[in-house]
Amino acid sequence: MITLNHFIFALAIVESSLNPLAIGDNGNAVGYLQITPAVIKDVNYFYDRDYTLDDRFDKKKSVNLCALYLKYWGENYEKETGKKPTAEIYAKIWNGGALAWKKTDPRVVNNLDNYWEKVEFLLNNFKNNL
């Protein structure tokens, strides 16, 4: 059975090849999970936390940030659609932002689909090895 930890591990492989010091998106996305300042802002606001930008370089804090961010926006998705979020929805939220599942621009949708395929491939490999 794939757990949240497996899922976040797959995201980290895709995002940074597990490098907690990775810097991408012209310095906007950093760390193990390539966290942006917007993720920090959301988590701090929605959960009354005090994460800092430097926390993105801490693997454990990055995992916690990711889990909280996905929990909040997954619940938001469920309220708006009446459907439980799937791993695909969570991956697209992580890659494309809180409302990525609403995006319709074909280039953006293609990028989100490509990202999901990478994550899905890893999750399927995990399943086969559990």
pLDDT, tens digit (0-9, with 9 covering 90-100), for 62-99: 999 999 999 999 999 999 999 999 999 999 999 999 99
- Tokens 């708006």, located at residue: 80
pTM assigned to the model: 0.94
- Angstrom distance (rounded) from CA 13 to CA 63: 13
Q: Count the domains in the chain.
A: 1
Residue 25: the pLDDT is 93
pLDDT, tens digit (0-9, with 9 covering 90-100), for 14-26: 999 999 999 999 9
Which domain, by its residues, includes 69? 4-129
How many CB atoms lie under 10 A from the CB of residue 123?
A: 19
Q: What is the CATH number of the domain that holds 117?
A: 1.10.530.10
Cα diameter, the chain: 39
List helix spans (H) across the chain. 4-16, 37-47, 59-81, 87-96, 106-129
Count of CA atoms in the C-beta half-sphere (13 A) of 92: 21
